[in-house]
C-alpha cells in the first residue's frame, strides 16, 4: 500500500479507525446490555442507565447491524454473540406478527408501546436483518428481511407517482402524524426515509438478487435524481407531499454527504453501469456542495435554512461520521486531494472534540459555542453505534481495497 498519499499516512488512518471501531463496540457490549434481555433503552451523557426507558426499533435495528457488520469485517465471536442477542430480542418483541412490519417502540418489559408503522424504522430492520443473515448464515433472518420488504411494497409504495409514504397506523391504515420527531415536517414523503429504504434494499439485494427488488432500487435512485436532489445546488429537498412538491427550505449537510455515497453504493450493488456513471458525477457535486457546511476547525455544521440564511452551528456525531465516508468516496471518484484531506480533517475533529476518552463511545455533539451537548443521550432512541461504527468499517474496507490495488 502506498502509505503517504497527498501528505496523509493512510496506514495510520486505518489503524486509528480500527482501534476506534473496537472502542465503540466494546462500549456497547460493556455498557448497554440489558440483564432482562436485549439492550437498555437509554444511557445519558454521564453514563447513568435508565432501565425503565422505552426501547426503540431504530436503536435495536442499528445495534443488530453494527454487531453483524463488525463480525462480518473482523470475525470476532463476541460481536456475533451480541448480534444474536439483538436478533432474538427483535424477533420476540418488535416484529408485529399480526399485521407485519415492526413496532416503533416497546416498553422496558418488551411489550408493544407505540405500534405506529414508521417506514423509516422498517427500512432499518431490513438493513440490519440482511447484514445479520450474512453474519449468522441465517435463512430465517433473510426471510424476515424479505417479508418486511414485501410489506413496504404492498402498503407504502406509491404505485401512481412512485416513492414511499412515510407512516401508517398499526394495521397500515391512514394516519395523521407522519413525523419521525417533533422537529420534522409532517409530510407524506421525506428524503430521510427514502434514503434509508434505499439503504435497506441495497443491503438485501447483496444476498437476494430479486428482479423486483432491483427495479425498486432503480426507482429510488430515480426519485433522488428527479425529485430529491436539487439541480441548482446539489443539496437535498427534505420534505415533500404526495406529488413531490417541496415543502422545506432546510439544507441538511449530514444527509447531503451521506446520500452522496449511499446512492453510489446502491447503483454499484445492482451493477447498473448507466446509473453508476450518472451517480458518480452527482456524488462529487453533492460532496462539493456539502463543503458549504464545513467550519474552520474541520467539523461539519448541522443544517442551514436557505431562506433565512440561519446556520445551525451544532456539530453532531452522526454528521461527522457520514462526512468521513462521503468525502473519502468523493476523493476515490474524482482523485481531488481536497476531498481526501477533508475526510481526514473531520476525523481529526472527531478525535479532538467528540471521543469520550473517559467513558468511551462518542458524545452526541458540540453546540454552537463548542460546548459538549451534555443534555443529550449517549445511547437512546437516536444515539446508537451505527453511524460511527459504519464510518470506521467503511473506511477500513476502502483503505484495504486501495492497498490491494496498489500492491497488485
Under 8 Å between Cβ of 315 and 365: yes
Longest alpha-carbon distance in the chain: 57
CA-to-CA dists, residue 85 to 130, 296, 387, 388, angstroms: 16, 42, 20, 21
E strand or H helix that includes residue 189: strand 189-190
Q: What is the pLDDT of residues 202-238, one digit of tens each?
A: 999 999 999 999 999 999 999 999 999 999 999 999 9
Q: What is the pLDDT of residues 23-80, one digit of tens each?
A: 999 999 999 999 999 999 999 999 999 999 999 999 999 999 999 999 999 999 999 9
Judged against a pLDDT cut of 80, whether residue 2 lies above it is answered with no
Under 8 Å between Cβ of 127 and 203: yes
* Cα gap 301→295, rounded to integer Å: 7
Which region, left, alpha or beta, applies to residue 238 given φ > 0 means left and ψ of -120 to 50 means alpha? Answer: alpha
Under 8 Å between Cβ of 173 and 124: no
Lookup result for grid cell 423486483: 212
Structure confidence at residue 287 as a pLDDT band (50, 70, 90) = very high
Judged against a pLDDT cut of 70, whether residue 407 lies above it is answered with no
* Cα gap 342→292, rounded to integer Å: 12
Mean pLDDT of the residues in the chain: 97
Residue boundaries of the structural domains of the chain: 4-407
Query: Which CATH class name applies to 4-407?
Result: mainly alpha
Amino acid at each position: 500500500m502506498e502509505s503517504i498519499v497527498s501528505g496523509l499516512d493512510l496506514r495510520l488512518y486505518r489503524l486509528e479507525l480500527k482501534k476506534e471501531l473496537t472502542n465503540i463496540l466494546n462500549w456497547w457490549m460493556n455498557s448497554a446490555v440489558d440483564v432482562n434481555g436485549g439492550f437498555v433503552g437509554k444511557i445519558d451523557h454521564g453514563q447513568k442507565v435508565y432501565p425503565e426507558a422505552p426501547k426503540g426499533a431504530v436503536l435495536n435495528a442499528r445495534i443488530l447491524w453494527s454487531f453483524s457488520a463488525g463480525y462480518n469485517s473482523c470475525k470476532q465471536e463476541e460481536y456475533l454473540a451480541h448480534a444474536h442477542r439483538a436478533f432474538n430480542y427483535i424477533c420476540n418483541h418488535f416484529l408485529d406478527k399480526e399485521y407485519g412490519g415492526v413496532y416503533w417502540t416497546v416498553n422496558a418489559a418488551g411489550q408493544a408501546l407505540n405500534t405506529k408503522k414508521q417506514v423509516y424504522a422498517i427500512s432499518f430492520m431490513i438493513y440490519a436483518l440482511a447484514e445479520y443473515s450474512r453474519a449468522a448464515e441465517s435463512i430465517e433472518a433473510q426471510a424476515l428481511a424479505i417479508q418486511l420488504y414485501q410489506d413496504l411494497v404492498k402498503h407504502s409504495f406509491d404505485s401512481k407517482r412512485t416513492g414511499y409514504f412515510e407512516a401508517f397506523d398499526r394495521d397500515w391504515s391512514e394516519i395523521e402524524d407522519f413525523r419521525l420527531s417533533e422537529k420534522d415536517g409532517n409530510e407524506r414523503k421525506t428524503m430521510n426515509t427514502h434514503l434509508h429504504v434505499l439503504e435497506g434494499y441495497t443491503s438485501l439485494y447483496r444476498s437476494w438478487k430479486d428482479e423486483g427488488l432491483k427495479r425498486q432500487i432503480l426507482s429510488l435512485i430515480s426519485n433522488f435524481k428527479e425529485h430529491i436532489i436539487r439541480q441548482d445546488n446539489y443539496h437535498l429537498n427534505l420534505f415533500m407531499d404526495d406529488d413531490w412538491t417541496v415543502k422545506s427550505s432546510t439544507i441538511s449537510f449530514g444527509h447531503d454527504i451521506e446520500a452522496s455515497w449511499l446512492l453510489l453504493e446502491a447503483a454499484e450493488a445492482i451493477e447498473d453501469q448507466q446509473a453508476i456513471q450518472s451517480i458518480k458525477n452527482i456524488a462529487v457535486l453533492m460532496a462539493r456542495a456539502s463543503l458549504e457546511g464545513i467550519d474552520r476547525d474541520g467539523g461539519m455544521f448541522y443544517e442551514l435554512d436557505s431562506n433565512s440564511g440561519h446556520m445551525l452551528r451544532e456539530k453532531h456525531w452522526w454528521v461527522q461520521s457520514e462526512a468521513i465516508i462521503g468525502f473519502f468516496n468523493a476523493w476515490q471518484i474524482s482523485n481531488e486531494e481536497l476531498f481526501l484531506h477533508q475526510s481526514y480533517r473531520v476525523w481529526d475533529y472527531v478525535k479532538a472534540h467528540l471521543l469520550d476518552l473517559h467513558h468511551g463511545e462518542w458524545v452526541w455533539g458540540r453546540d454552537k459555542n463548542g460546548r459538549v451537548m451534555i443534555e443529550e443521550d449517549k445511547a437512546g432512541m437516536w444515539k446508537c453505534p451505527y453511524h460511527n461504527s459504519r464510518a470506521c468499517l467503511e473506511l477500513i474496507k476502502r483503505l484495504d481495497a486501495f492497498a490491494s490495488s496498489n500492491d497488485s
